[in-house]
Amino acid sequence: MNEDSYITKKGAIAIAIILIALIIFSLIFYRTRRTGNYAVIFHYGKVTGSYPLGLNREIRIKDKKGRLTNIVCIKNGYVYMKEANCPDKICIHQGKKSKVSETITCLPNRVVVEVKGREMGSFDTMTH
């Protein structure tokens, strides 16, 4: 080890190149590949359920009077709004979602469907 140098020029350049490459890689990686594992349905701001995307099913959402307002459909790893009684049908046109933190929103019925990754628990909160 040289007297007063704690990093070599080569080392600094190598770290810089790796860092830039990694940042570019992760940007591409996270924009293209992070698919979620389950869909969480919020109704009037409250979580009413979370459903794995791997299981094909339909979730019927009813309002307070018990009328059917929306049908959320999970099929082949995608979640989409199949039916809604709202006038504009924006939620249906939002299409199929599968990536983490993508959402489908039906504003008139206050339904939000959000795709989430698997919950990991808190890891290493206290010690190093």
- List contacts with other proteins (CB under 8 A): 1, 4-8, 11-12, 14-15, 18-19, 22-23, 25-26, 29-30, 33-34, 37, 117-118, 120-128
- Shortest distance, position 74 Cβ to other proteins, whole Å: 17
> Nearer to other proteins by C-beta: 30 or 44?
30
Q: CB within 8 A of 30, min separation 6: which ones?
A: none
Closest distance between other proteins and the C-beta of residue 47, in Å? Answer: 18
3-state SS string for 46-69: EEEEEEECCCCEEEEEECCCCCEE
